[in-house]
Amino acid sequence: MALIVQKFGGTSVGTVERIEQVAEKVKKFREAGDDIVVVVSAMSGETNRLIGLAKQIMEQPVPRELDVMVSTGEQVTIALLSMALIKRGVPAVSYTGNQVRILTDSAHTKARILSIDDANIRADLKAGRVVVVAGFQGVDEHGNITTLGRGGSDTTGVALAAALKADECQIYTDVDGVYTTDPRVVPQARRLDKITFEEMLEMASLGSKVLQIRSVEFAGKYNVPLRVLHSFQEGPGTLITLDEEESMEQPIISGIAFNRDEAKLTIRGVPDTPGVAFKILGPISAANIEVDMIVQNVSHDNTTDFTFTVHRNDYLAALEILKQTAANIGAREATGDTNIAKVSIVGVGMRSHAGVASRMFEALAKETINIQMISTSEIKVSVVIEEKYLELAVRALHTAFELDAPARQGE
């Protein structure tokens, strides 16, 4: 008998009919003898609807009250799924994050999980019940309802799996696994049977939307085997584990991630003095804006050009801060560009293979795609290019690193 935590996202529970289908799937696992904990999101579109209602009252809703409201979306789903299971003769019980006692910090709308009291869940499992838990939410030490931010249900699922020492955490979504890249951009993309936490973390942070970054971090930290599966299609999905051995025998590159939500900011003619990087990035950080890639070039006249990227949503705020900084430190100008994108190659195999970056640059050069910025780590190389070349770059790199699925006979 295995203990499995299953997480179903918003599209998987988007209608009553789909909730009934999820109940059928859970019933099959239960009949096979497994203990099941199910984590669900709000029905697709529901969280946005609730946020929209709040914004009709306040343009910037009070975070505490917003959490109270949006957490109700998952409460509806857990009750419906529990009813659907009970109707099928499967004993089930639903819990909100507060009822489980998923304790978080007090950072409303983006709280982090501190601990989980698993006593009630274990008692229910022992009594033969399926436990259905609301994802995305918890409670702080003062009893306030908190939410974990977009995609937080993934984090709830993995955190529960870690607390319960589950055999596997299954993330059900609208894709049948993790692919070498987005199949909508590269039809020849292949589903990976297995990928390491490290690779998945890079893929998630670099633009792959399959899993939320925090959930992968959590899974890696507590060594919770993760499996990404399609909600309504049978298949093995993709297993995400610590094991690197099998991956080392696969291609050097496991996948190609990309992100269109990037913007580039440049401050030119900065006096090249100690501490100048802090003077530029300090105010950006103070505004809670995350900086991604950074490039600094020193000129012969002892001035420097400093370029960095931020999320496109933060672009206007960051540019305003940078213009003020330019005036304060005597820089020549501050400019920006939103027509950029980031493309990254990821793979643990890069550790034992030289020349990966040059192979990437050669593939882009053949397509006459200019590289504006470069960032590297042990298992990834990222470049910033003009956004209009993004899909061409992804296809070229996918082919260059031999990731294309073999053509079927007759094609």
Q: Which segments are annotated as binding site?
A: 7-10, 47, 74, 173-174, 179, 184, 209-210
Q: Residues at the annotated binding site for ATP?
A: 7-10, 173-174, 179, 184, 209-210
Burial class (CB in 10 A: 0-12, 13-18, 19+), 201: buried
Cα angle: 151, vertex 153, 157; to 5 degrees = 130
Pairwise CA distance, residues 325 & 317, whole Å: 13
Q: Residues at the annotated binding site for substrate?
A: 47, 74
Cα angle: 401, vertex 310, 9; to 5 degrees = 70
End-to-end CA distance of the chain: 44
φ/ψ of 383, rounded to 5, equals -130, 150
Please check whether residue 6 is in contact with residue 26, taking contact to mean a CB–CB distance below 8 angstroms. Answer: yes
Going by C-alpha positions, the residue among 224, 239, 235, 331 that lies closest to residue 277 is 331
Pairwise CA distance, residues 78 & 19, whole Å: 10
Pairwise CA distance, residues 411 & 408, whole Å: 6
Parallel, antiparallel, or unpaired: how do β-strands 35-40 and 130-134 relate?
parallel
Parallel, antiparallel, or unpaired: how do β-strands 226-230 and 168-173 relate?
parallel
